């Protein structure tokens, strides 16, 4: 099977990137990392990529304040240069503009540490805790022009425990993020994702919750 070429956009530590690297190296994920791009020069993600001989590029956002579409055009150029088919946002802390979305229609994925559409935005593990939610989790979705609003591909549910704090809840959610992101990418690689309006259906008749009900 032809391997899907991924371009991963990052801003920070890159634990999701690492999980994807590990799953590719163990052949659990039929993909190839064509390039890792960071908007932050000192992102640890870039070190992770270099360690595995993956092209690692810093695209500085300096001088692009208020010109997000121009910055995204730089990303598109870099992604195309490396022959990327699927763009994977992994802790990339910028809003994506149509300049990138139009170049990769229904081919930009994001992971978010909450059960969307609840708790979009930032610091969402804390928000779930403060709200008194009994369950949180994580969501992989296709990116659209809104913030955390695109069609949902797969989710994992994580219970909120009475003695949780932001760190403990975040850590348990992160563990599930590392599983479902690769799973979503693998489903894409197998051509099994069909987008119908807001809904993403699995073409083999299963549902995307089959493997991920509640994860302690
Ligand atoms: C992850 O928890 C990811 O879900 C979150 O940033 C973290 C990045 O961690 N993304 C967002 O909040 C995007 N809205 P990582 O760099 O270790 O993968």
Query: pLDDT tens for residues 49-89?
Result: 999 999 999 999 999 999 999 999 999 999 999 999 999 99
User: Phi-psi category of 88—alpha, beta or left, where left has phi over 0 and alpha has psi -120 to 50?
Assistant: beta
pLDDT of residue 210: 57
- Entry pTM: 0.95
Beta strands in the chain (DSSP E): 4-10, 31-38, 56-58, 86-89, 108-112, 135-142, 152-159, 193-196, 199-202
User: Ligand 1 centre from 155 Cα, in Å?
Assistant: 15
Residue with CA at minimum distance from ligand 1 atom 1: 91
Kindly name the residue from 112, 131, 141, 178 that is annotated as catalytic: 112
Rounded distance, CA 170 to CA 176, Å? Answer: 10
The two structure tokens encoding residue 97: 């503009």
For the chain, percent of residues with pLDDT exceeding 70: 95
For the record, the structure tokens of 87 come out as 């763009």
Q: Please state which of the ranges 6-15, 118-127, 128-137, 202-211 shows the lowest mean pLDDT.
A: 202-211
Strands (E), 160-198: 193-196
Beta bridge partners of 154: 140
User: Which of 13, 90, 153, 169 to mutate to test ligand 1, by most ligand atoms within 8 A of the CB atom?
Assistant: 90
Compute the distance between CA of residue 88 and CA of residue 10 in angstroms, rounded to an integer.
9
| Banded pLDDT at 187 (limits 50, 70, 90) | very high
Nearest CA to ligand 1 atom 5: 91
């Amino acid at each position: 099977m032809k391997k899907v070429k991924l371009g991963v956009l990052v801003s920070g530590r890159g634990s999701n990137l690492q999980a994807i690297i590990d799953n590719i190296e163990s052949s659990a994920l039929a993909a190839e990392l064509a390039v890792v791009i960071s908007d932050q020069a000192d992102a640890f993600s870039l070190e992770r990529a270099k360690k595995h001989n993956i092209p690692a590029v810093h695209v500085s956002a300096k001088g692009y304040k208020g010109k997000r579409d121009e910055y995204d055009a730089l990303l598109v150029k870099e992604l195309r240069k490396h022959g990327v088919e699927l763009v994977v946002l992994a802790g990339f802390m910028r809003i994506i503009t149509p300049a990138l979305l139009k170049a990769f229609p229904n081919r930009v994925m994001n992971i978010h540490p909450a059960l969307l559409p609840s708790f979009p935005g930032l610091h969402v593990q804390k928000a779930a805790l403060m709200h008194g939610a009994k369950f949180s989790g994580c969501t992989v979705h296709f990116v659209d022009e809104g913030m955390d609003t695109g069609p949902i591909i797969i989710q994992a549910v994580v219970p909120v425990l009475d003695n949780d704090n932001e760190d403990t809840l975040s850590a348990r959610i992160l563990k599930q993020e590392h599983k479902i992101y690769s799973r979503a990418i693998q489903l894409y690689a197998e051509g099994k994702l069909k987008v119908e309006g807001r809904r993403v259906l699995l073409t083999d008749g299963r549902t995307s919750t089959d493997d991920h009900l509640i994860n302690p």
